[in-house]
Amino acid sequence: MNSKMTTPQIRALKGQVKLVACTAYDYTFARLADELVDILLVGDSLGMVFQGRENTLSVTLDQIIYHTQAVARGARHAHVVADLPFMSYQVNAEEALRNSGRLISEGMAEGVKLEGGVTMAKTVERIVEAGIPVMGHIGLTPQSVHAMGGFKVQGKSPSARESLMQDALALEDAGVYAIVLEGIPSGLAKAISEKVQIPTIGIGAGVGCDGQVLVSTDLLGMNPHFKPKFLKHFAQVGEEVKDALQEFAQEVREGVFPDASHSFAD
Ligand code: KIV
């Protein structure tokens, strides 16, 4: 896996192999994940898992640019896509285009992601026309947390299901290269995935999607207490970190570390 994953390749992989994506916020993690996943998402989830906020709403464009620069330096293979944060694209299409341009030229992202379906289609078109690849994101859209009344599964009623199907089709028509389906019933995600010609990437949307994405700190089990239904901890890194720090602290306090093998001779 030497060459860079491109958006045409991502599109072409639909129906061939499942796409694998995870979030990344820094260089060291990007280096580790680069050869193992197809897509690194610099998600505005960094507001919650990196900054400790209640939601993603206070994340700024400059913060996303800063983290994207770090991730891009570590990504030799994986495609790097960066989130347009809250209010960086909702006001109008021109502002959305200008801010997308900053993620590409300053952040070194290779694509941008925004939340919303039918209502965002014109904005997506404007950005895509300028040569910037756009990834869509529908269903549980965290930037609408207050409108949704919390982080709740979407698309449960027949009319909500139909709206989400229309959202996906509108995004496809507008030119997105992939769509994140978050927090929707698995049958609906499968139906959307079968209907659109572009890859769907699920999170809390079942196995019928064309790929899966998880927040890296979540899948690594860095917060052992955070375990919503859709999440699997693929490691217990939180416990490992605590064990290592405990051992380090003990060895320092007992004068065991550093020993001769970790010291420079006179
Ligand atoms: O911000 C983020 O990490 C995301 C993923 C959860 C898809 O949008």
d(CA 240, CA 221): 10
Residue 2: predicted pLDDT = 57
d(CA 155, CA 99): 30
Output the ligand 1 site: residues, CB below 6 A. Answer: 23, 41, 43-45, 83, 137, 180, 182, 203, 213, 215
d(CA 103, CA 145): 24
Rounded-to-5 percentages of helix, strand, coil across the chain: 45, 15, 45
> How many Å lie between the centroid of ligand 1 and the Cα of residue 115?
10
> How many Å lie between the centroid of ligand 1 and the Cα of residue 88?
16
User: Which residue owns the Cα nearest ligand 1 atom 4?
Assistant: 43
∠ CA 107-130-100, rounded to 5°: 30
Residue whose entry in the numeric block shows the structure tokens 């209640």: 54
> How many Å lie between the centroid of ligand 1 and the Cα of residue 215?
7
Domains of the chain: 7-235 (3.20.20.60), 237-266 (no CATH)
| Annotated active-site residue in 110, 182, 239, 247 | 182
Sort 84 into a burial class: Cβ within 10 Å, 0-12 / 13-18 / 19+.
buried
**pLDDT 10s per residue in the chain (266 long)?**
559 999 999 999 999 999 999 999 999 999 999 999 999 999 999 999 999 999 999 999 999 999 999 999 999 999 999 999 999 999 999 999 999 999 999 999 999 999 999 999 999 999 999 999 999 999 999 999 999 999 999 999 999 999 999 999 999 999 999 999 999 999 999 999 999 999 999 999 999 999 999 999 999 999 999 999 999 999 999 999 999 999 999 999 999 999 999 999 99
Closest-CA residue to 121 (of 158, 82, 154, 89): 89
Atom of ligand 1 nearest to the CA of 113: 8
∠ CA 97-116-90, rounded to 5°: 45
Atom of ligand 1 nearest to the CA of 214: 6
First to last CA, the chain: 46
The question of whether 182 is a catalytic residue gets the answer yes
d(CA 217, CA 183): 18
Write the DSSP symbol of residue 261.
G
> How many Å lie between the centroid of ligand 1 and the Cα of residue 46?
9
Give 116's strand partners: 137
